[in-house]
Structure 1
Amino acid sequence: MKNNHPLLSVEQVCKSFGNKQVARNISFSLQKGEIGCLLGPSGCGKTTLLRVIAGFESIQSGTVCIDSTIVSSSTRNEAPENRSIGMVFQDYALFPHLSVSDNVGFGINKMPRNERHKRVGELLTLVGLEEVANNYPHEISGGQQQRVALARALAPKPELLLLDEPFSNLDALLRERLTVEVRDILKKLGTTALLVTHNQHEAFSVADKIGVLFDGTMQQWDNAHSIYHKPASLEVARFVGEGTLIDGKVTSTGKIQTALGPLEGHFSIPCEPGCSVDLLIRPEDILHIEDNCLKATILKKSFRGPNIVYLLQLASGEKCQALVSSHHDHRIGERIGIQPEVDNLIVFPKSCQL
């Protein structure tokens, strides 16, 4: 019979340092084989929460369970080495005096020699480092060092892999490539993993489930599509993706009057006619149409190769962004024609006058 309990379960966890509460009633779970991500700005509590799960920090209340076993509670804090976890640190923490092979095999040195040699060889092949097996950490690139750290953490076959900002020391192009590679490796092995990052692109690339943290609270735990298109709070809406908020008035079911004109679509949350709302407008929601009667003034522009993101001022004085092909290169101060194309109306009620 298939076991459906979560591999990782965090329930109502609270953590304080003195009078400062850094985790407030946080709950989420991961099924076996899922990859999760804790996403948020610096100081939001995501690394502390990862350290709690790893066993490096105790908690005041709540529970952490790994494979249905309580490993953290107000009265229990199982040692990290007894939690069946692997850990990849931000600085990789490789042993400089050991070769790549010996680094990978460090955590399985009690295994019979032949089995250990076989396991190390399998992992080096998996992460594509067979050719540098005898090199030392200072002789390989940052991306290769990151893969060594990953292979070393995977060597003991942990139930759960924890990764603390593992790509932050890499340049942007290498980071983007390695996030995809790491996801492929974890999925191939069926490893359950939890990643911490402040980079939403990493979170979107790697994770099945994303938890957005602000000020020690879990604002939303969901898949990437829902977090982007159905943010649960203003904080999530502002942090994830790009966008601006404009005023809106609900006129009837699925219809809003705004400075962009009347908009119609599916509301992210129910709103009654008469409600005043903040409406989130993403850059991709605004089309550039030269001869359209609706005009906006360019305040700023950000060139991004194939596209330009324009910051626009509407007649109302409100601002929005537009993602436009870079073939349309307009000057700051120029007025351009725009047209909203918004099907998913992401709204946050301000007040209702029914």
Structure 2
Amino acid sequence: MTSELQLDISQQRPFALKAALNCKAGELLALLGPSGCGKSTLLRMIAGLQHAESGYIRLSDEFWCNEVIKLTPQQRHIGYVPQHYGLFPHMTALQNVKAALHGLPSQEQSTRAQTWLGKVKLSDLAHRKPATLSGGQQQRVALARALAAHPSILLLDEPFSALDSMTREDLYRTLAELKPQLNIPMILVTHNLHEAQLLADHIAVMGQGCILQQGTPDAIMQRPVSRAVAAQVGLRNIFSSTVISATENHSLLSLGSQTLAVPHRLSVGLTIEWCVPHHALLLTNQHEEAAHLTGNIDQCILLGDQWLISINLPGTTQRIELQCANSMPLAIHQPVSMVLNTEHIHILQA
């Protein structure tokens, strides 16, 4: 029988936290948010290391935590991978994995530990101690140890954040290869949007102790529900406008001293927030009639083969940011015009 993690918990102390989510067997859910937003605390509550003031956590029909029940981490049979490996320094890689299998006969411990070290590509290093392994190799041992005991759920607490980018990419690949074999819920705590997009089936964006939005990576990126979520997923062009007029299929928005027609029917007089991704903006010839917006370059920074440009808009303190090829001749205070693909405009909820 496949399992599903469900929780609905809240607390006020030591800090406010409120969360409701679910994660099905075989799925990886990423808890995405900045430091201090509550994601690691939520993971510790799922693990049984902390308890919420109210609510419940359950795996399918078995309650792990409610007003009466408070199962220990051992009773929940958790597979846990911490940020800094948590290996026993006096043990070899093989012995570290076997340490999670102490309830099994010795020969079965060895066989299963060797199998899982092979799955994380460390068979040749089974008899090395942690101090002689790289950070990425130590994290592979920690992953093998967490999975060797066939846990009911896998919890990953920022396991890749201490690693260099090349090592992280290798571990992403390893986890992606293992994922189809793991018919259990998997929860990853991360502040890395790229990591969440690569690995997660669903993302729960967290902020100030609550879940701001849940959905697939594409849904979160393309349809953020609020300014806070849009900012967390890297959307820099977030604006506030008043609806000047509207027809059946379009509305006219104010943007400083300029106007912008968008393919949304909105209420006249309403002040809305909206966002648009970088790729929906394009610099164009200043005198081209098709240009939607004009402004003056406030800042231009060369990043690799791209300019990152900030543009002041007349009549407002709001700015537009976009990227373009470094072959374009640009300068501070230069007047520019932009085409904005309004099909990519997303209206944020009030």
Normalising by the residue count of structure 1, what TM-score does the alignment of the two structures yield? 0.88
Aligned residue identity for 2:327? H
Q: Could you tell me which runs of 5 or more consecutive residues in structure 2 were left unpaired when the two chains were aligned.
A: none
Aligned residue identity for 1:337? S
Aligned match of 1:255: 251
Q: Is the 8 A contact 1:297 1:314 kept in 2?
A: yes
Deviation at 1:8, TM superposition (A): 0.4
Aligned match of 1:193: 186
Distance 1:299 1:52, change over 3 A: same
Deviation at 1:136, TM superposition (A): 1.1
Distance 1:327 1:144, change over 3 A: farther
Aligned match of 1:313: 312
Aligned match of 1:286: 281
1:221-278: per-residue Cα shift (whole Å, max 9, x none)? Answer: 111111111112221112212322223333334434243643333x5xx743442212
Distance 1:280 1:200, change over 3 A: same
Aligned match of 1:336: 336
1:288-324: per-residue Cα shift (whole Å, max 9, x none)? Answer: 2244454332223343324332121122332011122
User: Which of 4, 7, 12 matches 2:4?
Assistant: 7
Q: Is the 8 A contact 2:281 2:322 kept in 1?
A: yes
Mapped partners of 2:332, 2:94: distance in 1: 56
Distance 1:285 1:316, change over 3 A: farther
Secondary structure in 1 matching 2:114: helix
Deviation at 1:329, TM superposition (A): 5.7
Mapped partners of 2:302, 2:170: distance in 1: 22
Distance 1:175 1:327, change over 3 A: farther
Mapped partners of 1:273, 1:334: distance in 2: 34
Aligned match of 2:228: 235
Q: Is the 8 A contact 2:224 2:348 kept in 1?
A: no
Deviation at 1:186, TM superposition (A): 2.1
Distance 1:49 1:289, change over 3 A: same
Q: Is the 8 A contact 1:311 1:322 kept in 2?
A: yes
Secondary structure in 1 matching 2:26: coil
Mapped partners of 1:241, 1:152: distance in 2: 35
Give the paired residue count.
340
Q: Is the 8 A contact 1:60 1:73 kept in 2?
A: no
Mapped partners of 1:156, 1:84: distance in 2: 9
Aligned residue identity for 1:257? L
Taking the TM superposition and a 5 Å limit, the aligned residue runs for 1:144-159 are: 144-159=137-152
Q: Is the 8 A contact 2:47 2:78 kept in 1?
A: yes
Mapped partners of 1:172, 1:290: distance in 2: 39
Q: Is the 8 A contact 2:235 2:275 kept in 1?
A: no
Aligned match of 1:91: 84
Taking the TM superposition and a 5 Å limit, the aligned residue runs for 1:23-62 are: 23-24=17-18, 26-62=19-55
The answer to which of 199-208 and 250-259 deviates more is 250-259
The answer to which of 50-59 and 231-240 deviates more is 231-240
Deviation at 1:207, TM superposition (A): 0.8
Distance 1:349 1:60, change over 3 A: closer
1:177-197: per-residue Cα shift (whole Å, max 9, x none)? Answer: 423432332233334210111
Aligned residue identity for 1:313? N
Q: Is the 8 A contact 1:186 1:192 kept in 2?
A: no
Distance 1:89 1:306, change over 3 A: same
RMSD over equivalenced CA pairs, Å: 2.2
Aligned residue identity for 2:260? P
Normalising by the residue count of structure 2, what TM-score does the alignment of the two structures yield? 0.89
Taking the TM superposition and a 5 Å limit, the aligned residue runs for 1:104-119 are: 104-119=97-112
Mapped partners of 2:329, 2:152: distance in 1: 52
- Say whether 1:347 aligns with 2:331: no
Secondary structure in 1 matching 2:198: helix
Deviation at 1:284, TM superposition (A): 1.8
Aligned match of 2:239: 246
Deviation at 1:103, TM superposition (A): 1.1
Q: Is the 8 A contact 1:180 1:206 kept in 2?
A: no
Q: Is the 8 A contact 2:4 2:25 kept in 1?
A: yes
Q: Is the 8 A contact 1:255 1:263 kept in 2?
A: yes
Distance 1:342 1:172, change over 3 A: farther
Mapped partners of 1:15, 1:68: distance in 2: 23
User: Which of 119, 123, 126 matches 2:116?
Assistant: 123
